[in-house]
Amino acid sequence: MDQSVAIQETLAEGEYCIIISFPAVQGVLYEGDSRQSRLLGLVRHSLEHGGQEHALFLYTHRRMAITGDDVTLDQIVPVSRDFTLEEGAPRTHFLLLCVGSDVTIQLDTAELSLVFQLPFGSHTRTFLQEVARACPGFDPATQDPGFQWLSRYKCVEPESDSRTLRVWNLARDTWPGYTTIGRGRYPSRKGRWGLEGRGDGTSYFRLEEVARGGGCAGPGDGRRDEELEEAGREMSAAASSRERVFAGGSNFENSRSNGKSLLGDQSSGGQDKAENSLTRQNKSKSEITDLVRSSTITVSDKAHILSMQKFGLRDTIVKSHLVQKEDDYTYIQNFRFFVGTYNVNGQSPKECLRPWLSHSIQAPDVYCVGFQELDLSKEAFFFHDTPKEEEWFKAVSDSLHPDAKYAKVKLIRMVGIMLLLYVKQEHAAYISEVETETVGTGIMGRMGNKGGVAIRFQLHNTSICIVNSHLAAHIEEYERRNQDYKDICSRMQFSQIDRSLPALTISKHDVILWLGDLNYRIEVLDVEKVKKLIEEKAFQTLYAYDQLKIQVAAKTVFDGYTEGEITFQPTYKYDTGSDDWDTSEKCRAPAWCDRILWKGKNITQLSYQSHMALKTSDHKPVSSEFDIGVKVINDELYRKTLEEIVHSLDKMENANIPSVSLSKREFCFQNVKYMQLQVESFTIHNGQVPCQFEFINKPDEESYCKQWLTANPSRGFLLPDSDIEIELELFVNKTTATKLNSGEDKIEDILVLHLDRGKDYFLSVSGNYLPSCFGSPIHTLCYMRQPILDLPLETVSELTLMPVQTEDDGSRLESPMEIPKELWMMVDYLYRNAIQQEDLFQQPGLRLEFEHIRDCLDTGMIDNLSASNHSVAEALLLFLESLPEPVICYNAYHSCLECSGNYTASKQVIFTLPTFHKNVFNYLMAFLQELLKNSAKNHLDENILASIFSSLLLRNPAGHQNLEMADKKKAQEFIHQFLCNTL
């Protein structure tokens, strides 16, 4: 959750929190022997004369800071001329230094010095870059910052004990290495690529060939600081917060492994909680530690200069050649991977997981452990927070192989889908470039009850992606499962450390391990026949009817992936607590829902099995062990290869001007439709000079193209005589549809393709958009008695631009309808066909069926409408979401929140809405009340419907998209009133 809202509430008018520490950088503050969680916000103040000043605001906070009441201002650090931020690791804290991991920084001014540990990841890097940009310049002619505006803020009074002291005497020469933001330098680490700074505070990069050192610096006396290790464990747990969770993220704050809640409610006095049983009972056998992270790099990094921003063309060429010649300086070494998946059916752990996680003799080098249905409660679905996360994290940590010590690299969760990654401690130094991502594929294509989570990382010189997915349920929904898989593949994109590089997709990895409850069932056979074949252990006969096998053979999903031979009985569905097949009323047929597949080279599967000993869930857990060949760098060969590349570059005449040829420069997109992707492609062929290309912004424009267009990739590098294919993707959604309907925007654009040190190439994009009821205002549709595609474009434009408050004055040839006919068509269809449909508005539909529904609505061919109830229900939700002015107008939003809980006042707010909006609201409430009359069949209740429809009918005003949890609950309460009372 974005906690910047909480900080913003504490600021005066004129101040703005431009970056917040959670999910970017929620830090642990070291104060002597104390470790305390702080929320960091970089606050910008605009001066009257046009300049800006910045300060870091440090807050104590509750576990989840939702409003300003949840945070307390602890300290303010002006970003002044003497401000420096040094990145590294003080030896005095005995940190385990590992690449691509948590960052320790020291903040210094003339008055104080602070030490923080920040979570590794792109958000922390962005935070540090923003702080760097905020540092004032060193021009003597520039007036010193005055910071008069800070006088209005009052921090909490410090206590008298030693923990409140703000200054530490940590000499910089005791640090093994550091980088400085502000006036400092960036000393090169021995054995690393060096980053240097100039005296004016700006930074540049120096390509320097030096000996490549080890990736891990241990404590000087060989002892671990247990307290710091435990604090680091909590910080890494917080650092694993769901980064950019689009639909249904997690608020996993910490794993309290030392009995202290670093992220606890500060208002409670910070009292220690009871000793948490996550502390291992037998540390001599196994010890769980987090991967304590620093900003250093590792010998496994191909060329670390590549992950830094603003490197030159020469460095780019070095990288490209190193990648091409990778086989010349690497060798293959096998690592043992354990991959496990378990649908726990919303249960808490009730039994030891070692029969699943530690069944083999040899301790795995890497653990990839995935869960589905971690929590089935409405709170987890709608508010994304659950105590089950910590319970299962502890259960896994306690059950890893007893013959090894492990470091937790990452935890990622989206609603009930969770993925954990551990490595042996000795391999932690060779883990880098860790990123996480989530994709929700539930209702409206984004809710997080179904979908996937993933972790990608580098192990030595091999890129690995682990995907845990939970696909659509029910035996007949195999096409929906296929669509979920494709959505995860297309939408799962990992940011690179260098933000100028295009995002990585799942397929752009050397090794892919895909696990989860894929939900494919046994088809054709009846339940008794399936059970009989299982009893006879005729698994291969039964496997012939497996939906996943059939779909893979048809190349509709998992093309290029491999699955091992299935020699175990189906893993679903059992009576909880037993090995008996489902005896419930539904009596589900057994199926291999829980699967593990892989893709890549040098992968050998050693085992693939289920674990019948575990009986907590209606699923049985599945595991597979692999020996995976990982590319490891030979340092001597690496240096030799690098020398050859640099030597060849020295001979190159860089004065040559790059030149490319384009296979196509004009692109026409015909009959573009709402939410229907169109793609045109062309090829760039490079000449004899290496070049970098990029689509650049035109003058006075914020982006290189209009919102409905994307070039993929938008930038890149080409070696001599090489080619790259560029795809231009056109997709109209709720953001862009209204202006295309009104004619304020057209499918017209010019793209500028720029070559570094070369010329610009111009590409023309044109086409036509077919207006749609999706993205059209309510009152516009009420005045359209004919289908929108039957009207002249001029009429559609005129009606779309008509003010929302317009009432019929009798001057029009046709009087308006009370509600849009398109809305009536969908609601009427659902009333006639889906009034008793189970999981209505919760089960997603099919994309092709949505396109059919859209075309029927836009052409008026309602008699041709043939789609599943779930697809029509989802189309209704998408229609409401696409309205440029929501059903309850933006100007009534705050009034609705204020009177939630007062039904009389709430009805009065609805009464003041424009006539068409009021009609639509009352019509929808009446329909939802009819659904509730059939709740015994459709299993809907007021809470579910209020949660789903509140965010669609009652949207916060444009420009304030960060909805606070308190407001979200008020909005649900407002809608809830109308579902429970007579209209």
Which of 610-624, 714-728, 745-759 holds the top average pLDDT? 610-624
CB 80 within 8 A of CB 145: yes
Q: Read out DSSP for 584-617? A: SSS-PPPB--EEEEEEESSEEEEEEEE-TT--SS
583 vs 309: CA distance, rounded Å: 59
Distance of CA 604 to the CA centre of its chain: 31
User: CA 464 to CA 479: how far, in whole Å?
Assistant: 28
pLDDT band, residue 844 (cuts 50/70/90): confident
Measured between alpha carbons, how far is 913 from 312 in angstroms, rounded to an integer?
58
Interval 380-410: pLDDT, tens: 666 567 889 999 999 999 999 999 999 999 9
Q: Is the predicted pLDDT of residue 265 greater than 90, yes or no?
A: no
Q: Place 862 in a pLDDT band, splitting at 50, 70 and 90.
A: confident
- The half-sphere exposure of 306 on its side-chain side, counting CA atoms within 13 A, is 17
Average pLDDT over residues 341-362: 96
Q: What pLDDT does residue 211 have?
A: 27
252, 675 in Cβ contact below 8 A? Answer: no
Residue 770 to residues 11, 367, 638, 744, 775, Cα–Cα distance (Å): 46, 50, 56, 14, 12
> What was the pLDDT predicted at 446?
62
pLDDT at residue 577, rounded to an integer: 93
Asked whether residue 632 carries a pLDDT value surpassing 80, the answer given is yes
| 137: confidence class by pLDDT, cuts 50, 70, 90 | low
What are the counts of helices (DSSP H) followed by strands (DSSP E) for the chain?
Answer: 25, 34
DSSP state of 345: T
Q: What percent of the chain has pLDDT over 90?
A: 53
The DSSP secondary-structure symbol of 866 reads -
Span 424-441, pLDDT tens digits = 999 998 999 999 999 999
> What is the secondary structure of 833-846 as a DSSP string?
H-TT-TTTTTS---
In angstroms, the CA 415 to CA 795 distance is: 45
Rounded to whole angstroms, how far apart are CA atoms 652 and 657? 12
* pLDDT, position 68: 66
pLDDT of 263 > 70? The answer is no
Q: Judge whether residue 465 has pLDDT over 80.
A: yes
SS3 labels along 528-567: HHHHHHHHCCCHHHHHCCEHHHHHHHCCCCCCCCECCCCC
Cα 905 to the chain's mean position, in Å? 39
pLDDT class for 224, splitting at 50, 70, 90?
Answer: very low
Check residue 116 and give its pLDDT: 80
Query: Percent of the chain scored above 70 by pLDDT?
Result: 73
Q: How far is CA 324 from the centre of its chain?
A: 31
CA distance 136 to 903: 54
Cα–Cα distance for residue pair 106/89, rounded to 1 Å: 9
Asked if residue 487 has pLDDT above 90, the reply is yes
Long-range contacts of 790-794 (CB under 8 A, 24+ apart): 790/859, 790/860, 793/743
Note the pLDDT tens digit of each residue in 301-339.
333 333 333 335 667 778 888 888 999 999 999 999 999
The 8 Å CB, 24+ separation contacts for 646-652 are 646/209, 646/318, 649/314, 649/317, 649/318
Look at residue 107 in the predicted model and tell me its pLDDT: 84
pLDDT in tens, 506-564: 999 999 999 999 999 999 999 999 999 999 999 999 999 999 999 999 999 999 999 99
Nearest residue to 475 via CA among 621, 589, 571, 583: 589
Mean pLDDT value across the chain: 79
| pLDDT tens per residue across span 640-671 | 998 888 877 766 645 578 889 999 999 999 99
Taken in order of first residue, the domains within the chain and their CATH numbers are 3-136 (2.30.29.110), 331-633 (3.60.10.10), 660-769 (2.60.40.10), 832-980 (1.10.555.10)
Chain segment 690-708, per-residue pLDDT in tens: 888 999 998 888 899 999 9
Per-residue b/e over 743-778, b at no fewer than 16 CB within 10 Å?
bebebebebbbbbeebeebebebebebbbbbbbbbb
pLDDT band, very low/low/confident/very high, at 49 (cuts 50, 70, 90): confident
More confident residue, 950 or 146: 950
Q: What is the mean pLDDT of residues 129-147?
A: 73
Residue 248's pLDDT is 32
Instruction: Count how many Cα atoms sit within 13 Å of the Cα of residue 487 in the half-sphere of its side chain.
Output: 28
Whole-prediction pTM value? 0.66
Mean pLDDT of 712-738: 93
pLDDT tens digits for range 737-786: 999 999 999 999 999 999 988 889 999 999 999 999 999 999 999 999 99
Identity of the amino acid at 852: H
Residue 122 · residue 219 · CB < 8 Å: no
CA distance linking residue 469 with residue 597, whole number of Å:
12
Q: Is the pLDDT assigned to residue 196 strictly greater than 50?
A: no
The kind and range of the H/E element at 397 are: helix 388-397
Residue 311 confidence (pLDDT): 39
Per the CB < 8 A criterion, the answer to whether 399 and 352 are in contact is: yes
